[in-house]
Structure 1
Amino acid sequence: MPAEEIIILVDKDNTVIGETPRRLMDFGKDYHRVTYILVFNNKGNLIVQKRTDNKAFCPGYYGISTGGVVDSGESYLDSAHRELQEELGIDLTLTSQGVFFTQGEGFKIWGKIYTCCYDEEIDGPLTLQAKEVASIHEMSINYILENTDNLLFTPDSLDALRHYANKLTAPQPSDPI
């Protein structure tokens, strides 16, 4: 049986104040840390995950980023590498894009955004985490932000993308990551 997941708790200023088992976490009340990895392909589009229908938060929605909650004893970077490996079966060089705060119904998050570039010919095929990722889809930043098809995106990952898009441009395959 896997060890119980312990989550880092932070205050409104992103200072660590403790930890709690995930099963006792009040996601709508407790501030916590989350990593957001924007995975770009060699065409400059994002690899977006369709979440499984059994997820507790936003089942069946599209998650714009790979990532998740930072566990006890982890840095943001350690968490980002773990999540990338768990969800997509890859480990790539990550570039930090900064920290932001977001909140909404059921979440109060200090998030850190990372970017990476995935090329199947170089990095190999993706291995999707069956319990979390139903499928993957290629989407441009503009397509997501315009959302003319009224897709359901997880609100926190959409906010992460908005923070990224308002500050930076997508890395190109030839750019150092």
Structure 2
Amino acid sequence: MSFYLALQAVRGPDTRKTIERLQAKMVRVEVGAGGRRNGKRWIKENQGFDATADQEQRIWAEATQPGGPSITISVAAHISHMVDTAEHLATRPWSLVRFERRSLITCDSPVSLIRNPKDDDFYSDVGFATAWGISVPLTRELGLLMSDPMVIIERLDLADPMIQEIRTRTNEWQL
């Protein structure tokens, strides 16, 4: 079910475009922060080849332009992102919520992220790793709520190696 919900959440072109824009901005920052003199080294480390002066100049110009270089992620990278998203969903406690007086409305993007009300306004953007909850309407009267995984993890045996692994992964996602 978590893989199906991950597919529902990140299947569209908007997610792919967002990932491409983020990667382009990261490349721009990384290349720009290294400076023009480190361009050749960056190309070797990240692109795997020794660049000619012309190639180095072209890559520098593309990487440092506003918005960064034009990046297109592969289908495999998009699928990998869906699998990572599914892991965020699978580690959360799930509960069903019934609505008797009002009914739910669903749409083409049924997965909703719920921001933690304790977060500062600075952290107003929410993603799968930082969301307090994730909600999905299942029918017009039944919703699925996947809440904060730390609530359960903090109550379990701390000596259990599996709990330590889950806690470590959850902390990594939140960084």
Do both share a fold (TM > 0.5)?
no
Higher strand share: 1
Instruction: Give the TM-score of the pair, scaled to structure 1.
Output: 0.21
Structure of higher RCO (CA pairs closer than 8 Å, 6+ residues apart): 1
Instruction: Give the TM-score of the pair, scaled to structure 2.
Output: 0.21
Bigger radius of gyration among the two: 2
Higher helix share: 2
